[in-house]
């Protein structure tokens, strides 16, 4: 098997990774997932981006590294301790709006417009809970992304069935074009269809 191709990390990433390790937070997205997030973020110049589940900001750093100067990223997290780590390392970026909130109530309060060009759902809400409400906030042609769809060491008993059901639901969703990737921690990328297309 060939050696993995090297990649350039976001500027804030090494210090952010160290702070994450020191905090004991173990639910962060991995670097291969980050490289995909960055590439897809770069495809939406001036876009409106949403991350549900900031954590310590590791995935946030990758998304920001792909954003154009005029793009905007809203990232929602309900744990103030981990959000403080993200804020300390990324909070000076004017493109980033960090929100301390429970994602469920926050999603319910969102207006129908402006919609998002890109949604990375990295927590239960927007993924296993309130999925349809989240997809309503996505523009036609926008990306919906989730990771951790391959078995993970921290999965509770019975979660494999939930992940399989979610993958099937997305694959059969009439408003989505879906690719499931057996790569990194298991990634699903979906693109929202323009209504009236098949």
Asked if residue 28 lies in contact with residue 51, where contact means CB atoms within 8 angstroms, the answer is no
Q: CA-CA distance, 180 to 67, in Å (whole number)?
A: 24
Beta bridge mates, 191: 143, 177
Domains of the chain: 13-192 (3.40.50.150)
pLDDT band at 179 (very low <50, low <70, confident <90, very high): very high
Model confidence, pTM: 0.93
Count of beta carbons in the 10 Å neighbourhood of residue 87: 18
Read off the pLDDT of residues 93-149 as tens digits, 9 standing for 90 and up.
999 999 999 999 999 999 999 999 999 999 999 999 999 999 999 999 999 999 999
Asked if residue 139 lies in contact with residue 192, where contact means CB atoms within 8 angstroms, the answer is yes
Nearest Cα neighbor of 50 from 68, 35, 63 is 63
């Amino acid at each position: 098997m060939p050696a993995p191709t090297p990649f350039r990390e976001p500027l804030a990433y090494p210090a952010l990774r160290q702070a994450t390790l020191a905090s004991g937070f173990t639910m962060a997205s991995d670097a291969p997932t980050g490289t995909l997030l960055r590439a897809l973020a770069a495809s939406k110049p001036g876009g409106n981006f949403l991350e549900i589940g900031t954590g310590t900001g590791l995935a946030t750093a990758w998304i920001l590294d792909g954003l154009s100067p005029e793009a905007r990223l809203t990232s929602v997290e309900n744990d103030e301790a981990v959000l403080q780590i993200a804020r300390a390392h990324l909070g000076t970026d004017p493109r980033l709006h960090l929100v301390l909130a429970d994602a469920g109530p926050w999603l319910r309060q969102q207006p129908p417009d402006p919609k998002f060009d890109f949604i990375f759902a990295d927590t239960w809400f927007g993924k296993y809970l309130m999925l349809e409400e989240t997809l309503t906030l996505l523009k036609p042609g926008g990306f919906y992304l989730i990771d951790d769809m391959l078995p993970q060491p921290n999965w509770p008993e019975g979660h494999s069935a939930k992940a399989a059901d979610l993958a099937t639901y997305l694959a059969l969703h009439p408003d989505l074009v879906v690719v499931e990737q057996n790569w990194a921690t298991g990634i699903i990328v979906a693109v929202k269809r323009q209504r009236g297309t098949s």
